[in-house]
Amino acid sequence: MYNWQIKSITLNGDLITSAHYHVACGDIATEGHWTFKNPVLIKPLDEVTQQNIISWVDHESAHAITDRLDEQAVTLEKVDLPWMKNAFKPFKD
């Protein structure tokens, strides 16, 4: 389950041209700025919801943002840091 938040938007008149987002999935999160390639006024600005903008960012990014979170989750579960294996061996006198 992804927890999206739109932190801010950039406007050109009433046209949303970009959005600053934060997305979390469990303990993994990312934040970024998405600039819409060809912004189109789909609905009046006063009717736009956060969910609308989330949907537009996710769709235009072809789900790349959430896909990268999924990849990080898998990587975090599988990575053993080689330098940490023996990092805390007691010293012998």
CB neighbours of 87 closer than 8 A, spacing ≥ 6? none
| Predicted local distance difference test score (pLDDT) of residue 27 | 87
Structure-block tokens of residue 67: 């896909």
Nearest 5°: CA angle at 75, between 69 and 77? 110
- Each domain of the chain, given as residue ranges in start order, spans 3-79
| Predicted local distance difference test score (pLDDT) of residue 59 | 95
Confidence (pTM): 0.77
Q: How far is CA 62 from the centre of its chain?
A: 13
| CA separation for the pair 10, 19 (Å, rounded) | 6
Along the 93 residues of the chain, how does pLDDT read in single tens digits? 899 999 999 999 999 999 999 999 988 999 999 999 999 999 999 999 999 999 999 999 999 999 999 988 876 655 567 777 665 666 666
